[in-house]
Amino acid sequence: MDNYTNKLSILYVEDEDDVREGYSRALERVSKHLYTAKNGVDGLELYKKHKPDIIITDIRMPRMDGIEMATEIKEIDDSANIIFTSAHSESAYLLEAIALHAEGYLLKPVRKKLLLETIQKISKTIILEKENEEQREILQYIIDSKNNTTIITNTKNISFASKSFLTFFGVSTIKEFQEKFPTLLDILSNNDDLINKENILKNIQNGINFYEFINQIDESLRVVTLKDAKGELKSFYINISKIGSVNYLINLTDITRLTQVKEAAENKVYRDSLTKIYNREKFEEVFEYEIKQSKRYNTPLSMAILDIDFFKDFNDTYGHLIGDEVLIMLSKTIEQHTRESDLFARWGGEEFVLLFNNTNLEAATKLAENFRKMIESLQHPSAGNITISFGVTQYKQDDTRQSMFKRADDALYEAKNSGRNCVKSKY
């Protein structure tokens, strides 16, 4: 016999002494350890104590028969490997053995050669399964020992998932995960990411698979936002590699903290410290970009400068701190009412700028007028209201940032000269 057999332990249950003794010697030679018993009760006892890999049992025995014993063993371990030996070819026994998913049914007198061959076959299966299981365990260990969140998938099903991956989504098994998210794409929650459901599906339609899609994206943009079990959004860097012909290893690195730090750094550069709205630097950058877009696509672009009226007097009357509070109130109000596509920024002091994307002078003037009214009716608890004046203009061919800004500033000057608290536009 080859080395598949003597790695496993065997339990042999047989009530006839000479039969048991006769086969025991042969079985001892092919097993790691042989346990023998004379009846089902003793056999079950030995099974519970030693958990042998293979059970060979007679059917007709005193105290507890082989079928009864096997039924109890199967209740303990559904995958237990059982071979029946019986002098009875009655179909009732056979059917019971089949129902128990027995590994074999050998008629007595059993030829030794056949018994050993059967054991060898079962042993081979058991050992290969054990090795497989060990490999899975090793792989799971490697996956879990990394701090990263990892899965192996053929893009339809997941074959491996690290504990951290399952925990993140509040599930404990892959099965549970797949019930919650029928397709892997369902975990993607942010359409602002380049890697979003819609983009991936579009690419798949064009014959570009998930793997190719991710890898063609610039590394700095391989970011996905995922919602954890508590509903919190986390950012992950996604890395994907191919294993074999159908499987992919997807690795997710939590960069939430990094993203927050980056955002904080950006805020420092692009946000005004008093009002927290965008500052002049941000405005200049966006202004430059929007002028280019307007030139290229021939879409209207307008801007407005707004300046608080007599703010020096206001500060002198109520003090600088109240002045600051009013600047914050004004900023919050206008920011809240600024369209997503527009930009509102503090230019400096008590002067602010607005950029109206895809908007002509007439529409921009109306928007400015709305803001003027809004601020006029805004009441500071102790100092009452302030008013603002607006200068508005629209982008003209060959305008530079400077020439456009100058025209808006001229319009503002006009507004100040026509009694303030009004909007003037210039083209």
Which residues of the shown chain bind ligand GH3 in the complex (CB under 6 A)?
A: 274, 307-313, 315, 320, 323-324, 327, 349-350, 416, 420
The catalytically annotated residue of 14, 96, 290, 350 is: 350
Which residue is nearest to ligand GH3, using beta carbons? 323
Look at residue 320 and give the partner it binds from Mg ion, ligand GH3, none, a contact being a CB closer than 5 to 8 Å depending on partner kind: ligand GH3
Instruction: Print the binding letters for residues 332-351 with Mg ion: x by CB under 5 A, - otherwise.
Output: ------------------x-
Inter-CA distances, 68 with 64, 101, 109, 133, 318, Å: 6, 14, 22, 30, 96
Nearest distance in Å: CB 421, Mg ion? 11
Does 375 engage in binding with Mg ion (CB under 5 A)?
no
Crossing angle (nearest 10°) for helices 401-417 and 280-297: 110
Q: Is 179 noted as a catalytic residue in this protein?
A: no
Position 307 contacts Mg ion (CB under 5 A): yes
Q: Which stretch binds Mg ion (CB under 5 A): 154-162, 247-255, 305-313, 326-334?
A: 305-313
Report how far residue 139's alpha carbon sits from residue 122's, in angstroms, rounded to the nearest whole number.
26
Give the shortest CB-317-to-ligand GH3 separation in angstroms: 11
Closest-CA residue to 55 (of 80, 32, 38, 75): 80
CB 178 within 8 A of CB 171: no
Q: Rank residues 108 and 426 by Cβ distance to ligand GH3 and give the closer one.
A: 426
- Bridge partners of 378, per DSSP, are none
- Give the integer Cα–Cα distance in Å for 104 and 270: 76
At closest approach, how far in Å is the CB of 410 from ligand GH3?
15
Q: Pick from 47, 237, 311, 371 the residue near Mg ion by CB under 5 A.
A: 311
Select 63 or 312, whichever has its Cβ closest to ligand GH3: 312
The 8 Å CB, 24+ separation contacts for 16-22 are 16/58, 19/58, 19/108
Q: Strand, helix or coil at 410?
A: helix
53: closest CA among 6, 101, 112, 104? Answer: 6
Using the minimum distance from each CB to Mg ion, give the nearer residue, 103 or 307: 307
Q: Which is nearer to ligand GH3, 209 or 379 (by Cβ)?
A: 379
308 binds Mg ion (CB under 5 A): yes
Q: What part of residues 212-251 is at the interface with Mg ion (CB under 5 A)?
A: none
Judged by CB under 5 A, the number of residues near Mg ion is 4
Residue with tokens 């990892």: 150
| DSSP per position, 367-396 | HHHHHHHHHHT--BTTTB---EEEEEEE--
User: Which residues are tagged catalytic?
Assistant: 350
